[in-house]
Structure 1
Amino acid sequence: MISPTLDSIRIFLHLMAVAVWVGGQIVLAGIVPSLRAENSPSLTSVAQGFARVAWPAMVVIVFTGAWGLGTIEVADKSTAYMA
């Protein structure tokens, strides 16, 4: 097990990146229909702006998720099927 401080940092980074990703999706769900209805040329710039934030957030999500899976000691877990 890693130190509680490092573990807390990993979880914090993971949750913040997920909040950015999900929050951005919710905002886009509200903005895109109105931009499409107006045939607005800013639809592309909105999508590109979200991508600049979303892809780094997704990298952090994958990295911290894999890091979290790496900290699990499967042999120490007791389950009904391992009994």
Structure 2
Amino acid sequence: MKNIYACLVGEWVCLNDDPECRFIDSGLTPYEWWESGAEVWSPKNLPEEHSMYYLNYVNICYKGKDYRINPIFIQVVTE
């Protein structure tokens, strides 16, 4: 089993623990997201060089709240 962890507002949580958790743009559960290629938003050309708007990110809905985080804050643990 693969568990998907994310650092949300400074706390590491297991996304799999929330049955309603989804990667917003795809509607996939954390496990489905990982198994289908773990897509992240990543621009090919940066319209602005020094803007946080154009950093890689994923949108996650976890326990009723929506988060936009950089993928470096995601860890996959195989148990």
TM-score in terms of structure 2 length:
0.30
Higher relative contact order (CA 8 A, sep 6+): 1
Normalized per residue, the structure richer in helix is 1
* Structure showing greater Rg: 1
